[in-house]
Structure 1
Amino acid sequence: MFVRGIMSLRILLTLSSLILISVSLSAEEFAVATFTRGKVSFLSVSDSSKLWKTLKVNDILKPGDRIKTGNGSKVDFLYQETEIRIQPNTDFTLKEWNSDKKVAKAYVEKGAAWFRVSNFKKGSFEVSTPTTTAGVRGTAFGVFFEEKEKKGYTCVCEGLVNINGSDFAKGSGGALKMGATDLEKNDYKDLITKEGATIQFREKRKEIAMLSRCLPCHKPVGWEDTSFTPDETYGKK
């Protein structure tokens, strides 16, 4: 009985080690949830029950997984130095992820997501909406799809991003309405400083409603707006 108990203990320890190794490898290979707020649901591609579940910190984002956030909700994912921040009222799907080939593709059906990309080849990290596709040539950018407008937006925070075949630099962006053929080009330079969103930003927002999506990360300076929840994790990675 004693020998049998020892063998059972060894088997249990071996299985535990294999599970820990598997989790460790998965965490190194894919993006891991580092922060959640509010109601964040996900549909795992590997879950045969096809049931939506609550996403928690340390959950892993795998190819085929779909994420939905509610009002005031968000989730942050981190892979090495690459960040994915999914904002409130967003429907997001990770279409492809290959850490060996440094290739990733994601889809924002509605809502907003922000990305800071590292460890990927130029142009190999793509994020699409129903009307736009943004391929990274630089580092940080936001992708939005506004359902009421039926319009996809991309704004470039750092570096260079290719939007539907055209390159955009920091402080600029492109937008395309469903059914349209010409990409709308926008300039956001000097609207946001290190301190936050300026008075000029407030005025520009009247013209481009999508800019309100920037306020959780860039607080108003010299004016007020209580319609958003500040992103307490922005700039802390």
Structure 2
Amino acid sequence: MVVRRIMSLRIFLTLFSILLTSVSLSAEEFAVATFTRGKVSFLAATDSSKLWKTLKVNDVLKPGDRIKTGNGSKVDFFYKETEIRIQPNTDFTLKEWDSDKKIAKAYVEKGAAWFRVSNFKKGSFEASTPTTTAGVRGTAFGVFYEEKEKTGYTCVCEGLVNVNGTEFAKGSGGAMKVGATEISKNDYKELITEDGATLKFKEKRKDNPMLSRCLPCHKPVGWEDNSFTPDETYGKK
């Protein structure tokens, strides 16, 4: 009886050790949720029941997984020095992720996501919308898709980003509407500074509502807007 209990204990400890190793490897191979606000829904690619679940801190983001955030909700994922920040009212899917080959592809069906990319090959980290594909040549950028406008946007915070074959530098970005043949170029340098969103930003937003997506990360300077919850984690590691 004692021998049987000892054997059972050994088997349990072995299985527990394997489980811990598996979790550890997942955390090293994939991006892990480090921050959530509000309710974030999560549909795992491996879940045969296709049931949406509530995403929690320390959950792992794997290829094929889909994330939905509601009004005021968001989630941050970290992988080494790479960050993925999914903003409110966003439908996001991780299409591909290979940490060995240093390749990743993300898809923003609607809403907004911000990326700071490291540990990936030049041009091998892509973030797409229904109308745009942004390939990283630099470090940090935002991707947006506005359903009402049927337009995808990319803004570059650091380095260079190639959007639909056109290269954009820090402080600039591109926009592509459904059915358009050429990408529109935008300049954000006077709209957003190191201090935040300027008065020029406020005026420009009247013609370009998409700019409101920037307010969680870039606080108004010289004017007020209380319609967006500040992103507590933006710019922090």
1:232 Cα deviation after fit? 0.6
Q: Is 1:235 the equivalent of 2:235?
A: yes
Q: How does 1:112-151 map to 2 (within 5 A)?
A: 112-151=112-151
Q: Is 1:63 the equivalent of 2:59?
A: no
Of residues 125-134 and 3-12 in structure 1, the stretch that sits farther from structure 2 once superposed is 3-12
SS at match of 1:131: coil
Q: What residue number does 1:76 align with?
A: 76
Q: Is 1:192 the equivalent of 2:174?
A: no
- Where do 4+ consecutive residues of structure 1 move more than 2 Å? none
1:203 Cα deviation after fit? 1.5
SS at match of 1:205: helix
Amino acid in structure 1 at the alignment position of 2:193: T
SS at match of 1:7: helix
Q: Is 1:7 the equivalent of 2:13?
A: no
- Residue-by-residue CA offset, 1:60-91 (whole Å, 9 max, x unaligned): 00000000000000000000000000000000
1:204 Cα deviation after fit? 1.8
Q: TM-score, normalised by structure 1?
A: 0.98
Amino acid in structure 2 at the alignment position of 1:123: G
SS at match of 1:28: helix
- The 1-side partners of 2:179 and 2:39 are apart by 33
Q: What residue number does 1:164 align with?
A: 164
RMSD: 0.7
Percent identity, please: 85
- The 2-side partners of 1:151 and 1:192 are apart by 21
- Residue-by-residue CA offset, 1:104-123 (whole Å, 9 max, x unaligned): 00110000000000000110
- The 1-side partners of 2:150 and 2:213 are apart by 16
Amino acid in structure 2 at the alignment position of 1:183: I
SS at match of 1:72: coil
- The 1-side partners of 2:64 and 2:103 are apart by 14
Of residues 187-196 and 33-42 in structure 1, the stretch that sits farther from structure 2 once superposed is 187-196
Q: Structure 2: which 5+ residue stretches go unaligned?
A: none
- The 2-side partners of 1:190 and 1:21 are apart by 49
- The 2-side partners of 1:15 and 1:2 are apart by 20
**How many pairs were matched up?**
237
- The 2-side partners of 1:118 and 1:183 are apart by 26
- The 2-side partners of 1:43 and 1:144 are apart by 21
- The 1-side partners of 2:194 and 2:156 are apart by 16
